[in-house]
A and B are shown apart, each in its own frame.
Chain A
Amino acid sequence: MSEIIIDAKNIVKTYVMGETKLNALDDVSFELKKQEFVAIMGPSGSGKTTLLDVLSVLLRPTSGEVFINKKPISKMNDNELALIRGRTIGFVFQTFNLINRLTAKENVMMPLWFQGIPKNKREKISEEILTDVGLADRMHHRPTELSGGQRQRVAIARALAVNPDIIVADEPTGNLDSVSGKQIMELINELHDKKGKTILMVTHEREIADHAERIIHLKDGKIIHNETLKKKKITEKSVK
């Protein structure tokens, strides 16, 4: 059994909207093991994005505790959380969230800058990763000059820059046509199978969720079903 990398216990997230209180997450507990590929599914408003935000320490829960590598986040200040995100989690968003005035390469270099890595090293790493995701000839283009699929590749390259253990993907194919969507999923599978990354992905499409090893079904802020898919196994060799 591999070790637990994210451990969430009794997570409640409440949003107060005027007089009414809304429990986006209602007593959710969840474990993510190292090198697992988990998909979170559910209809819109089920709380899946909120869960992803809490698990990736972008958002603090109202109550409950999240342990990242066994460390509780409630004891950490915002700067420490930022450092944990920067080091251990790579983000891929539905809307790509690239900075449009920076080139592809500069976007990939950015997380490395926050880790205090010197410029020449940052350039080298970024060039390598962009080549890996098939964008060797697009490095100096700005996001607005790239197709949706290419932008998402830049985002994946940025997520990989600091070589994190976990890749968090929020509807990674949501804004893409089916061909690019398929290519992006192939890339994510490759990260899991070949590079041994732990993948946590939110989607509302069953077809996309089927790439995962386990699917968490969420409804009204609660986990209603924890489904294990049998088709894939991680081989020891695949660990980088």
Chain B
Amino acid sequence: MNPASSVIIFTVLSGMGLGYLALLATAHDYTGAAAFWHWAFAYALATIGLAASAFHLGNPQRAWRAFTQWRSSWLSREAWGAVLTLLAFAPLALSDWLGLGLPRGFGWVGAVLAMATVIATGMIYAQIRAVPRWHHWSVPLLYLAYALAGGCLLAGFRMPAILALVGVAGAVLLHWRVGDGAFARARSSLGSATGLGALGQVEIFEPAHTAGSYLLREMIYVVGRRHVKRLRVIALGVGVALPILALLVVPGVGGFGLAIILYLLGAFAQRWLFFAEAEHVVGLYYGRR
């Protein structure tokens, strides 16, 4: 699948922002200006992320319609989740800033919604059977792990962040492990795609067209696969191991700053891979996956 930067930014930042929001609401009690800046920052991250997702729409002016199909569509659910989450945190954020004293238990509602939203994001991908690498519960888990780790880093919880990063490592490894054999397990092949498999070995003779097409650009992205190994190292090394190291050896805010930058690098690398490595079964028709 084509790793569109808008979608990568969307999933990384919104996940991190939602994780942070959830922690702000449940594990912090900033007040006054501090509260304002923290909440504003968390909101900004989440909304920038969500806004980025609109960039890959063909007709963003109709984006409101995406709210209509919550009964069946994970994308619609995610949209609802995001808006409800942002709304749900608002009273608490105001209360924190203005000192209104709203009970903190309120935050849990938002936090649950936030995590549900992250899971919904993951489900957008996990529901797609046509991309076997994604079609697994490890995908929402992965998104959740990243959101939590990002949140902990921003929230400045050193030990939880380290644990969450370890969780990320686990989720990523699981995703790769499951994902690497997924295509084969899905049993889709050029033989089943054409139904000709029983007759003999099927190969491409001529492509349906020599020109480019939406499908080739969007679904059959084979350009960057040779970077896979390096990017996997970056995702785990730079995105997990180094932040843990930074948190362990660099004290104070500096450690967090460094860890966040490294985390983001790793997260972007992982997310790029998440798309670039994902093979759509339609690629079978073109002999390229």
Is B one of A's binding partners?
no
